[in-house]
Structures are given as C-alpha cells and as structure tokens.
Amino acid sequence: MTWASTVSSPTIPESSLARLLAVKRAGLALLFVLGLGAAAGVSSGAVTTTTGTTADPVIADGVTIGSVSVGGLSADDATDAVTTFFETPMPLLVTGHKIAVTPAVLGAKAYIKDAVAAALAAAPDTALTLHVKTNRPKSEAFVRSVAKRFDRAPVDAKLSLRNLRPSVKHQKRGWALRQLRALSAIFGALVADTRDPVQLRVRSLEPKVTKKSIGPVIVIRRGSNRLYLYKVTRPWRVFGVATGQSQYPTPLGRWTIVVKWRNPWWYPPNSAWAKGAKPIPPGPGNPLGTRWMGLSASGVGIHGTPDDTSIGYSASHGCIRMHIPDAEWLFNHVRIGTTVFIVSA
C-alpha cells in the first residue's frame, strides 16, 4: 500500500501580507537612499568636520619687563622685544666724548625666558624686573680699555728763553678714569635695564710745575755784564755784575741755584790761578762777600765781592760777582731751584 501525505502551508491573510510587503519596500527604499548619500559623499569628498581653534595666550595690558612694555604681546613677540632692547648698545659719556658698549662685550646675560614666563602669569600693570648676570672680569677689561684711551697725564709748565727773555708754555691738567666707580655705574645700568647715557667720572691730575710755581728767573747777559731778574716772565730788577775773564769764561747755558750760603768761607779751587792760596773765613776781604748762591755749573756761583770796581767788567774767574748789598738783596728773593740762564749777549 502506498501512503501519500500532503503537507499544507499555513495560510497568511492577504491583508497582513500586504502590510509586510509595504514595510519591506519602505525599508529597502530607506537603505537605497542612505546608500546613495554615502556614495555621493565618497565621490565628492565633501565630509564636513568641526574642529575648535585656540589662540596663543597674550600678556596682560600694562605689564613691563625692565624698560620694555610687553602688554598685549605673545610670548614670542615679548621675547623678541626684550631681547632687542637688551642688546641695544649702552651709551657712555667720558671727558666730553660719547662711546657705546653692548652687553655682549661686557659679558652680561639676561634671563629673558624666565621674565617672559612671569609676564604671561602677571596681573595687569605689573612691573617685572629683568634679571641680569654681570661678568666682572670682562667688564673690568672694558673699563681698563676706556681708561687707556681717555686718561691724560698732566703736562708741566715749561720755561724757556725767547729773545733773551723768559717764556712759559702753560701747564695742562690731566685726568684719570675712576675705574671702580665706572664699573659700578655700568653694572647699575645693566641691572636696571636702562639705556640712558652713563657718565663715567674722572679724577683731576694736577701738574707738578705751574707757571706760578716757577718763581723768579735770572738771565745773565755775559757780554753786557748785566743780571736781569724776572718774576717768572715779568721784569723785576736789573743789576750790574762782573763775569769771567776770557781765559776763565762764565759758562753759557741753563743752570739752577743748588745751594745758598750766608757768610761763606772761600776755599781755593783746584786751578792754577789759586795755587798756594789758603781758605778765607767769613768777614771783610772774603772774595765771596757775604752771600753765595752756587749754581749747578761746577764751581760757579753768584756772590758778592769786596772789589766794587770789577763790576761791569769781565774780571772774575768764572763766577758772577755783584755788589755786596745787591747780592744780599738777591739772596733773599731767589731760592734753591731758581733757573739761571747765562747768554752771550
């Protein structure tokens, strides 16, 4: 016997099926639309994204670093501004001259990054100090170079004879840089971060010889047997004298009075004309009178004489004779160091 079986499919009402098909079609349509949108987006590359941008922070208004206003600047701009100012040469004034030096030459270093970082965190209108490290050896070397350039030694007054009369070239004052004070002033300007002119002080150096200190000057005219006394360059008095004989001439040149004796002894010189003579004590008849003004010319001096008749002549053995009262007056008005010019006129 053959068995046949029949399996019947469940029956879905038509109305329900229609609703299912409608939902399916709607889903496919939505997928299709989304697919086209994605395809269009890929093909055109038009993908829109939104990103946030953050501006660089700036320093608050009114903030300063040293002498530089950095308010409203970024860190980079503030660094540039402070660096530019710090590297500006520092003007220096010395003895009327203006020079300049950069911090680099002085070996100075500024902590600019630290100052800018502090400025970014500072409240408005804050004044910040720019910390500067100085270099003493390099700064001292620079100050020494300034001193070498500008120091001036004093110049003494110079006495000479011109047209038979004394002439003086005036003295000049010198100066020397006060190096420690200069170093302190430069360090102060570096630390204060200013570029105002810095005055470097000098100390005055006075000449040893001035026109006034020259004092009296004697000019002896051998040819005319006259002694001219000057108050430096101004005529004072004129005296008749006796000078050396032709065989014992009074030496020409520039000499000074090196010794002054009252009531001198006379000692015979080592010369043929004095051979056998003995020393003569002070008193009447002493060949030197009562005063002796010895010159730097060996064995020669200005002195009084008891032989008044010799005055006005070339009668001595090289010395300059004067009337005793004249010699005494002159003795009181000249000094050791007085210049004596002896000329042939």
What would the DSSP string read from start to end of 156-173? --EEEEETTEEEEEPPB-
- Provide the sign of the torsion angle of the four alpha carbons 56, 62, 64, 69, taken in this order: positive
- Distance, in Å, from the CA atom of 114 to the CA atom of 110, rounded to the nearest integer, reads 9
Tell me the Cα Rg of the chain.
54
Place of tokens 């005063």: 291
- Distance, in Å, from the CA atom of 238 to the CA atom of 132, rounded to the nearest integer, reads 72
Neighbours of 80 (CB within 10 A): 14
Short-list 215, 243, 240, 241, CA closest to 230? 215
Residue in 97, 131, 303, 323 annotated catalytic: 303
Could you say which DSSP state residue 222 is in?
Answer: T
Q: 303 an active-site residue?
A: yes
- Distance, in Å, from the CA atom of 74 to the CA atom of 71, rounded to the nearest integer, reads 9
Residue in 131, 317, 319, 323 annotated catalytic: 319
Short-list 81, 91, 86, CA closest to 110? 86
Neighbours of 252 (CB within 10 A): 13
Residues designated as active site = 303, 319
